[in-house]
A and B are shown apart, each in its own frame.
Chain A
Amino acid sequence: MRFIRTKAAIAVAGLALTMTACGDAGSDSEGADVEVADDAASSFDDGTRMKELADAGTIKVGVKYDQPGLGFKDAASDIPTGFDVEMAKILVASLGIDPEDTSKVEYVETISDNREPFLEDGTVDIVLASYSITDDRRKVVGQAGPYLVTGQQLLVPEDSDVASTADLAGKEVCSVTGSTSLENVKAEGMKPVGFDTYSECVEKVLDGTVEAMSTDGTILAGYAAQNEGQLKVVGDEFSEENIGVGYSKDRPEMCQWIVDTITKAYDDGDYEAAFEATLGPSGVEVPELPTMDECA
């Protein structure tokens, strides 16, 4: 009797293993291939954070999990996908760490609220999470870039007549609680309605409770692509967001490394490939690399 039970347990364990294997097979990331730098550790000066990370061979990256096209993780995959994630992979690879190896690279979910605390207390080493550069944020964390400039637009149902923010004056427009987008909605004379995630706002637009939602055009394009035929992006950009890379203020040497690596990726065409693979399908043209701020 006991023998049969043991056999059954082994069979179940075996089954579980094969199932996990199946799960892995489906999780190939769709992004562009990034080449891992050889002997990266020797190319950095002693005492720098890059040297420490390259020597340790591990890094923790803060990304968004809920923004299709920028940083999005579905339940089936191990690594999030999106342009921010591709940029993170380029940075990680330049340290000689394989960005596809989740035992070495930890993609931590950061929401708008916890990006600064996570950088300050070392929960993450770098943040690429549609992180707008602002003067106030630069008081507490380092921000390198911008590597992408986006502006805020409107996402409305396909059959909507709304063409600009003026059509929505005094009306309720959805965005994420505590985000810059929500403040801009107010500044444009619309009434802000805050939800926890962008996907909840999309639901409220789809069920007709609000006429529109608003945030960065790149994020909206991702949702429009996900709900083709139901939603569309309209209006001119009515704000300018400079998306940058966050790092700890205690490690100012990281700034130059980030700027150099991204500039090199742009020259090599990796930037374009990353953009094509992630935001390309939603119909956004590959932009020129913005002029990045000087590192202090």
Chain B
Amino acid sequence: MNAVLDSPDLFLKAFGYTVFLFLVSGVISVVLGTLLVAMRVGPVAILSRAATVYITVVRNTPLVIIFLFFQLGAPKVFQTLRFSWVDIHIGPYDFTSFFTAAVVALSLYTSCFVCEALRAGINAVPLGQAEAARAIGLPFSGVMRQVVLPQAFRAAVPPLASTLIALLKNTSVAGVFGVIEAAAQMKSFTNDFASERTGIFIMFALGYVVLVEIVSAVATVLERRWRIA
């Protein structure tokens, strides 16, 4: 425990990377997931089929395999997929190819789950709503944007929160793919201070618990505010 308290900067920086990975991949996967769900429930057969295939393939692939693909497989075939063109430095944080590949892998993976959470929400909206929207002459985009999705998002908040919590913990996979985030930093600590293993575990577990609690608190607030009267 002392090892962590002696160098809180390392501890906080590592969780900083975890938070950055979570926020960036979270936003991208919600956007991507919304597009996917629109394709999936939309009237265009080919788009719907494509979205279904994408979800079947990516959702059924272990996250580590997706990471391996973007870290070790793709760079050999396509130069651009090395992401070496990403080189951003903000304060003590470096966002380079490793961070980018991690965000890509996490986003592609999580967007499938976001899509399915949203689809559950859409299925919860009574069919009459969509029919009524059609009846007043709204096009498909209008039906989705103005009638179905706002209601669907409300119904989807609880499963969406679970998906995002899973994403938050999945960021730890990036620790063995070049990003020194919380899980990787924990391994550094346990390597250097083998005698304080248990204390180090507890500190890092607490860190994750706090972050997950924040995410679920936000979800609870949204759920309450958006409750359909």
Contact = CB atoms under 8 A, between A and B. Distances in A.
Nearest to A191: B94
Contacts of A112: 191
B187 A178 contact: yes
Given A191-B94, A203-B72, A209-B75, A139 B194 contact: yes
Given A193-B178, A194-B176, A172 B96 contact: yes
Contacts of B175: 177, 194
A74 to B, nearest CB: 19
A124 interface: no
Interface stretch (A9-17, A50-58, A101-109, A179-187): A179-187
Nearest to B196: A136
Contact of B176 (A141, A177, A204): A177
B190 interface: yes
A211 to B, nearest CB: 11
Interface residues of B, number: 27
A179 B82 CA distance: 25
B98 A177 contact: no
Contacts of A182: 188
Contacts of B208: none
Nearest to A201: B178
A183 B188 contact: yes
B49 interface: no
Contact of B187 (A113, A116, A191): A113
What DSSP secondary structure best describes chain A's contact surface? mixed
Contacts of A195: 176-178
Contacts of A209: 75, 82, 84, 97-98
A283 B176 CA distance: 31
B193 interface: yes
A12 to B, nearest CB: 32
Nearest to B84: A209
Interface in B170-229: 175-180, 184, 186-188, 190-195, 197
B193 A136 contact: yes
B188 to A, nearest CB: 5
Which residue of B75, B82, B193, B194 has the most chain A CB atoms within 10 A of its CB atom? B194
Contacts of B188: 177-178, 182-183
Which residue of B96, B178, B179, B180 has the most chain A CB atoms within 10 A of its CB atom? B178
Given A116-B194, A178-B187, A209-B75, A196 B180 contact: no
Contacts of B187: 113, 177-178, 194
Contacts of A208: 82, 84
A200 interface: yes
A146 to B, nearest CB: 17
B134 interface: no
B76 interface: yes
B180 A194 contact: yes
A176 to B, nearest CB: 9
A137 interface: yes
A172 B82 CA distance: 14
Contact of B194 (A136, A172, A177, A196): A136
Interface in B49-97: 71-72, 75-76, 82, 84, 94, 96-97
Given A194-B175, A209-B84, A139 B195 contact: yes
A116 B193 CA distance: 11
A207 B76 contact: yes
Contact of B191 (A172, A178, A191, A200): A178
Nearest to B76: A207
Contacts of B82: 207-209
Contact of A183 (B97, B98, B190, B192): B192
Given A113-B190, A207-B75, A136 B195 contact: yes
Which residue of B76, B98, B180, B191 has the most chain A CB atoms within 10 A of its CB atom? B191
Given A193-B98, A200-B71, 8 more contacts: A113-B190, A140-B195, A178-B190, A183-B192, A194-B179, A207-B75, A207-B76, A209-B84
15 contacts: A137-B194, A140-B194, A172-B94, A177-B188, A178-B187, A178-B188, A179-B191, A192-B180, A193-B178, A194-B187, A195-B176, A195-B177, A196-B177, A208-B82, A208-B84
Interface of A: 112-113, 116-117, 134, 136-137, 139-141, 172, 174, 177-180, 182-183, 191-196, 200, 203-204, 207-209
Give me the 8 closest cross-chain CB pairs, A-B, nearest first: A178-B187, A196-B176, A139-B195, A193-B178, A178-B191, A116-B194, A207-B75, A177-B184
Interface of B: 71-72, 75-76, 82, 84, 94, 96-98, 175-180, 184, 186-188, 190-195, 197
